[in-house]
Chains A and B, each alone.
Chain A
Amino acid sequence: MKPFDAIIAELREMEKGLFARGLARELPPAPGPWPLAGDRDFVMVKDTALELGNPRVGSASFVLWTPDLSLVSDNRITLAGPDVSEAKTDILPLGKVILAGVSGVSEDKAPDLSRDLDAVRYGLSLEGCMMRTASLNMREWLRISREARDNGFSLAHMAGALFTGFRALPFVERVEVLFVTESSELVAKLYDLSRKSARIGAAMRKMSKEMALDCSECEYQDVCDDVSELSGMREKLLQQKDENAEGKS
């Protein structure tokens, strides 16, 4: 079950280009964890040092998972563009892609997996960092307070918190994150990738929930044609349903 591998390949191509042009670099891990904010923090505009992914400049934020662990470089943080302390403006676009290498995930558990991974993202709350995630369209909007910036907050801190959160899930073996703050154009490219992954995610949710599984009626038919893994998932689900039905009668 590796529905996102083709997207990961596209992402790697893009990343290669960024490194070749000198736009991307690897970030060292943060010196320590950043304090958590109990309730989800709210940073007002007047206290904001830097906004990332404000709807005006664009954002793309999503999680891709794969059972092929060789596709994920554990603990790696890649950044294309300025980090918090390097920003020359008070507003930057934001691209954030989390790659998770997973094990022991069967076809029928795939939709739950995406949900659990997303829940880690939504639940993250760091002091002086307001994070808002639009789950329906893969957007993310951060406000970093002056205080947090002055205390040295870096995207590496966010990465560290994400790594901790993801690793707490039993099936996650490896985690990696890529940030893009360089330009709205680059983030828009990531956004195109995010749309593809969103359609795959939606198709999986639909399959797991629907009884009929009639492909000719389904709006995600094109997605399943593209991603052969999904057809496999469907077969498994149908098989299970049959078994359940037999078990009942």
Chain B
Amino acid sequence: MSGPVILSVCGKGGVGKTSISALLSRVLAEDPKKRVLAIDADPAVGLATALDLPVARTVDDIRNSLIDRLTDKGGGGGRDKAAVLAELDYQLAEALAERDNLAFLAVGRPETDGCYCRLNAFLKEVIAQTAGRFDYVVIDGEAGIEQVNRRVMERITHLLLVTDASVKGRRVAETIEDVARKMTGFSHAGLFVNQVRDQGDVPAVMADTRLTVVGSMADDPVLHRFDREGQSLLGLPEGPSLDALRLLADTFVRNAT
């Protein structure tokens, strides 16, 4: 058995990363035999809303609660690695929200320098191990890429770069791809053009980037309405947006061309 597809959705702010992560998770989870893990790496936890899943605890909450308890005062002083890993695994299982074959994990505030580094290293190990138990892992990667858990990042197989029709959008995508190339071993990278308003948008992007365009999605008034009303994208009716994501799932994620 090969490892899971770990896909990170990255790009400039506001280009549609969260919407695409949610729809892609939904589409991938349509196969009941596959397990999908959606990871929200954005402190604003927009993906939870989009997937209508509760955020009881975030990875950051786990870290904070353990920093206190792993001291002598908290009764956990002198614990060895196996004990701490077991504890983290338990807490992570508690933090996972599940609905059918779709599970969800919120990262919360990204780790900062100077926080309890032994714990962070272990957390990464446990998250990576958890990710390994799924078929697809979709990471809504906030604007950049550095914030995301490095240990999971190192294992990224698919980098999905999202842009709108703007020049800035594709330059940011290219920069992220450069950074990612240095720190991860992804095997597939592709550019997804979102919020397409004009027939000429996609060809214009293609003509001005070294990245491979792997899909596009039109500006969708129904998506607009769902966003305005704060509705979960799980309820988004069949239409061009879902079609675009299904095509992306087939051609880019499952490589079933």
Contacts and interface: CB of A to CB of B under 8 A. Distances in A.
Interface residues of A, number: 31
Given A132-B90, A135-B79, A40 B129 contact: yes
A122 B86 contact: yes
B101 A46 contact: yes
A25 interface: no
Nearest to B134: A42
Interface string B60-98: 000000100110111111111011111101110110001
A161 B94 CA distance: 25
Interface in A126-151: 130, 132-136, 139, 141
A109 interface: no
Interface in B32-56: 35
Contacts of B82: 115, 118-119, 122-123
B92 to A, nearest CB: 8
Contacts of B87: 133-136
Contact of A141 (B73, B85, B90, B103): B90
Given A136-B76, A141-B90, A208-B78, A44 B103 contact: yes
Contacts of A219: 72-73
B73 A134 contact: no
Contacts of B91: 134
Interface in A19-65: 39-42, 44-46, 55
A135 B86 contact: yes
A130 B84 CA distance: 18
Contacts, number: 87
Interface stretch (A82-90, A171-179, A197-205): A197-205
Contacts of A165: none
A130 B90 CA distance: 10
B16 interface: no
Contact of A111 (B35, B78, B84, B133): B78
B69 A202 contact: no
Contacts of B100: 46
Contacts of A196: none
Nearest to B87: A135
A93 B80 CA distance: 28
B73 to A, nearest CB: 7
Nearest to A202: B75
Given A122-B86, A133-B90, A115 B80 contact: yes
A240 to B, nearest CB: 17
Contacts of A136: 66, 69-70, 74-76, 79, 83, 87
Nearest to A118: B83
B130 interface: yes
29 contacts: A39-B129, A39-B132, A40-B129, A42-B93, A42-B134, A44-B101, A55-B94, A111-B78, A115-B82, A118-B82, A118-B83, A122-B83, A122-B85, A123-B82, A132-B90, A134-B86, A135-B79, A135-B83, A135-B86, A136-B69, A136-B76, A136-B83, A136-B87, A141-B94, A202-B76, A202-B78, A206-B72, A209-B78, A219-B73
3 closest A-B pairs by beta carbon, nearest first, are A205-B78, A42-B133, A122-B86
